[in-house]
Chain A
Amino acid sequence: MSWAWFHRFGSPPYFYRLATRWVPWLSWPAGVLIVGGLFGGLVIAPADYQQSDAYRILYVHAPTAWLSQMAYTLMAVAAAVGLVWRMKVASAVAAAAAPIGASFTAVSLVTGMLWGQPMWGTYWAWDPRLVFQLVLFFFFLGFIGLRSAIDDVSRADRAGAVLAIVGIVNVPIVHYSVTWWNSLHQAPSVLRAQGPSMPASMLVPLLMSFLGITLYFYAVLFYRTRAEILRRDRGAAWVRELLTGKGKTA
């Protein structure tokens, strides 16, 4: 198998142009799916027989929680690729993923709280899933904080990558420890076990939201990656060509 495609992805101008071309193809379906999913969740899906209309928060909460975990995994993998193969583009992807992931982790936490108040009678419960999501938020903040504390971009990329790798190695341990911790306290099972039988009018909008927000994530990610690539390749000839429109070969 040839690795040429991999090296091509690693070329900043190639990836920059590819990202520019992909963003509209990702954003339009993302927009349609998200609007459709949210509309379906609000209007078409019937009220839940136990939770009435409050369960409609699910259509915001679940996709954002999924997005935050996907963003963290992608960030760590991209950062590791950037560190090991000295691949600037991968580091740019990791740097671009962090703020998106952090903001949607916050959204998933806040919407979870807004769901918790009417359903459990409390905004916050020390449930392992909530704690885990909170820890994920701190991992994102640490990554962003460390990167912004280091002025040199390439050093920030590598230091951030070490932190992201240590973080993702710790994710299963943290997950296990909070689950174990919770099992000892016999917390009331606040999270109702979701039955597999969900009518299609509930399920389809949910799937649309999931798919839409995934496409949205990649659209925003590629947009941000362009900015990060420019920061890393400022002096390069292709950037000059791109910004001034004229090829001035030195």
Chain B
Amino acid sequence: MSEFFAMSGYALYVWSSYAIGIGALLLNIYWARASLRQAEAQARRRLASGDAA
């Protein structure tokens, strides 16, 4: 098992690559969700102000 994690000495390079790749996948999902939430909130505000007027 420890042999697997050692990646025949390239552990630092291999694992950090996978971490960065997976990090980017998750980050993009988070960004997409945040951006939709923000757009919805903006549209709601706009609707609310339109209703008040």
Contacts and interface: CB of A to CB of B under 8 A. Distances in A.
Contact of B4 (A43, A57, A227, A244): A43
A60 B21 contact: yes
Is chain B's binding surface mostly helix, strand, loop or mixed? Answer: helix
A157 interface: no
A228 B9 CA distance: 45
A60 B29 CA distance: 17
A115 interface: yes
Interface residues of B, number: 32
A33 to B, nearest CB: 12
B36 A227 contact: yes
B24 A107 contact: yes
Interface stretch (A78-86, A133-141, A173-181, A232-240): A232-240
A223 B47 contact: no
A99 B27 CA distance: 11
Nearest to B33: A223
Contacts of A88: none
Contact of A114 (B17, B24, B39, B43): B17
A57 B43 CA distance: 42
B21 A230 contact: no
Contact of A220 (B18, B22, B28): B28
Contact of A243 (B9, B20, B25, B40): B40
B16 interface: yes
A91 B27 CA distance: 23
Interface of B: 4, 7-10, 13-14, 16-18, 20-22, 24-25, 27-29, 31-33, 35-36, 38-40, 42-44, 46-47, 50
26 contacts: A43-B4, A52-B8, A54-B13, A56-B14, A57-B17, A60-B17, A99-B28, A100-B28, A104-B24, A104-B28, A111-B20, A114-B13, A220-B32, A223-B29, A223-B32, A223-B33, A224-B31, A224-B32, A224-B35, A227-B32, A227-B39, A227-B40, A230-B43, A231-B42, A235-B50, A239-B47
